[in-house]
Amino acid sequence: MKRTATIDRATKETKIKATVSLDGTGSYDVETGVGFLDHMIEQLARHSLIDITLKAKGDLHIDFHHTVEDSGIVLGQAVAKALGDKLGITRYASVDLPMDEALTRVSIDVSGRPYLIWNVTFSRDKVGDMDTELFREWFQAFAQNAGITLHVTNVYGENNHHIAETCFKGLARALRQAISLDPQQAGRVPSTKGTLSG
């Protein structure tokens, strides 16, 4: 069964459409109007091997907040829909992701119980054209709507670009492991409850 999904969401603030294929090659086609966010979602696709198409039009004349947050919402919903009942997935993963002087740890439980722990700080207000405070908003929106427990801790780092990129690449690599199909699960839900719906 193909693990693919498309979500189309329109509000007065944003209009976003996302398509994912969980068993892809990491291809991407991303346009949000926020250059650095595009770069990060492209990294997410490339390193998770999830094919991602995401097109967003938002009220960027106000600020980037709605577009960034809603992109996380729609992408999270697409991943959740593509996962379906989560039969046979590995479920847990943890990755230490280095980039030059920066190291970030990302741990995931594809649990159906959304939760974010965000231990990441930035020394600048912006990376590229993106407000650094919006990184947490994106991760919160993604975790909430994908239905995952997500812990992100920047262990150390100085360069704000590197810190942000290790967060997204770490998410990508952990997500890749957690949603991979475990042949020993033989199509079972990896929970004694028999469900991963919350």
CA distances (Å), origin 172, targets 23, 55, 90, 94: 13, 19, 15, 11
| Cα 112 from Cα 76, distance rounded (Å) | 12
- Asked if residues 164 and 133 have their Cβ atoms less than 8 Å apart, the reply is no
**Cα separation of 198 and 196, whole Å?**
6
Q: Strand 102-109 relative to strand 92-99: parallel, antiparallel, unpaired?
A: antiparallel
Closest by CA to 19, choosing from 60, 74, 59, is: 74
What is the CATH number that goes with domain 4-185?
A: 3.30.230.40
Instruction: Quote the percentage of the chain above a pLDDT of 70.
Output: 94
Per-residue pLDDT tens over the stretch 136-153: 999 999 999 999 999 999
Query: Percent of the chain having pLDDT more than 90?
Result: 89
**Which region among 33-37, 85-89, 130-134, 180-184 has the lowest average model confidence (pLDDT)?**
180-184
| 113, amino acid identity | R
Q: How confident is the model at residue 1 (pLDDT cuts 50, 70, 90)?
A: confident
Q: What is the DSSP string of 13-59?
A: SEEEEEEEETTS---EEEE-S-HHHHHHHHHHHHHHT-EEEEEEEE-
pLDDT band at residue 132 under the 50/70/90 scheme: very high
Looking only at the bridges linking them, the beta strands covering 4-10 and 92-99 are unpaired
Domain segments of the chain as ranges: 4-185
